[in-house]
Amino acid sequence: MKSLWYYIMRAYLKVGLFFLHKKITVVGKENIPKKGAILFIGNHQNALIDAILIPISTKREIHFLTRASAFSTKLISKFLESLNMIPVYRIRDGISTIERNLTIFEQCFKILNNEGAIEVFAEGNHDLKRQIRPLKKGFARIILGTLKKHPTLEIQIVPIGLNYNSHLNFPSSVSIHYGKPILANNFINIENPDLRFKAIINEVSSALKKLTLHIENDENYNEIIQKLENLNVDYTNPIKTNKLAKNIKVQSAKAIIKKQQINWFTPIHLLAKINSVFPLLVWKYLKSTITDVVFTNTFRFALIITIFPLFYVIQSVLIFYFFNINYALIYLVSSIILGIITTKTMAVNL
């Protein structure tokens, strides 16, 4: 029953992401093992959106390691747990809470031994910077602990690069690049483990740097980004973008002037905004309250899967009440079509 609920919610969230993004491209799905224990490890730049994009792009049922602060109430905890989310406690949650991770790790050992899949963002936090930050040891500890209990179990790591052409704006496009699986057993010595886990961390980090844009140079980060954008780079193509970034010094810093094209769908975009005036007012207020900008698209997504459809349903009910079912259905279908056309044809903006 729990799995059925998981797949229903996954399908619903997939629809929500369809309306959030202009385009979602998945590359390397053939690299995902169809069975066996897996750790999906991705870069983390876009808060909750990162976590959702992975399960909607693979058929594997996934458990998520999620920061414990998200489990703020019993009701929320039950809901998140029903979606296979597992709380992970950090020092900022209080020293006394760290011991709870021992129970969490035991849960992870069991999932992997049952040939399940776990999603981990090994950088430990999110950041808008287009680079792979130093990876934390948590995922390696989970692997070591599992192999100590189940030494014959094979554990594969699938690195994932999440690439957004814009992290904050709407409607952005995203590519999900699945790298070749890494057999974790080759990097873990059960009898005499390196508790720094240097080998496996370097291997995973190196793989991630090929699957997403990685700008190593912090000192000149902003300058490099500006030059890339002057070249009208496509961030959703990490292979090409990484090559450009490495040779950026020999590239011209002059911006490529693009001819402004007429968007013939603009009247439809305007009609869609008029039709969604109340949800857009809610978004305008909500956006002003966001303290961490990385959560911008997370909150936008929350409205797309709740307030927007609820508003259209209420409007449809009112039309049905004052007119008839035919007009109500025409309005509801028209609202959905307006939403699709707007998302897929609108230029990226705030």
Tell me the domain boundaries of the chain. Answer: 2-9+22-211, 221-250, 266-345
> Which among 115, 199, 123, 195 has a CA at the least distance from the CA of 160?
123
pLDDT of residue 122: 94
Q: Are 68 and 88 in contact (CB under 8 A)?
A: yes
Question: Given this model, what pLDDT does residue 264 score?
Answer: 87
pLDDT tens sequence across 87-123:
887 666 566 666 777 888 899 999 999 999 999 999 9
Helices (H) and strands (E) in the chain, counts: 13, 8
Integer Cα distance of 247 and 227 in angstroms: 11
Residue with token string 């998200």: 70
Note whether 133 and 17 are within 8 A (CB): no
Residue 258 reports pLDDT greater than 70: no
First-to-last alpha carbon distance for the chain, in angstroms, is 40
For the entire predicted model, the pTM comes to: 0.91
Q: What is the pLDDT of residue 66?
A: 82
Please tell me the distance from the alpha carbon of residue 52 to that of residue 11, in angstroms, as a whole number: 11
pLDDT value of residue 166? 94
Distance (Å, whole) CA 4 – CA 150: 29
* Lowest model confidence (mean pLDDT) among 173-182, 195-204, 219-228: 219-228
Number of CB atoms found within 10 A of residue 149's CB = 13
Q: Report the pLDDT averaged over residues 130-151.
A: 95
Whose structure tokens read 């309005």? 331
Using 50, 70 and 90 to split pLDDT, how confident is the model at 256?
A: low
CATH classification (class only), 2-9+22-211 = alpha beta
Q: What are phi and psi of 177, to 5 degrees?
A: -105, 115
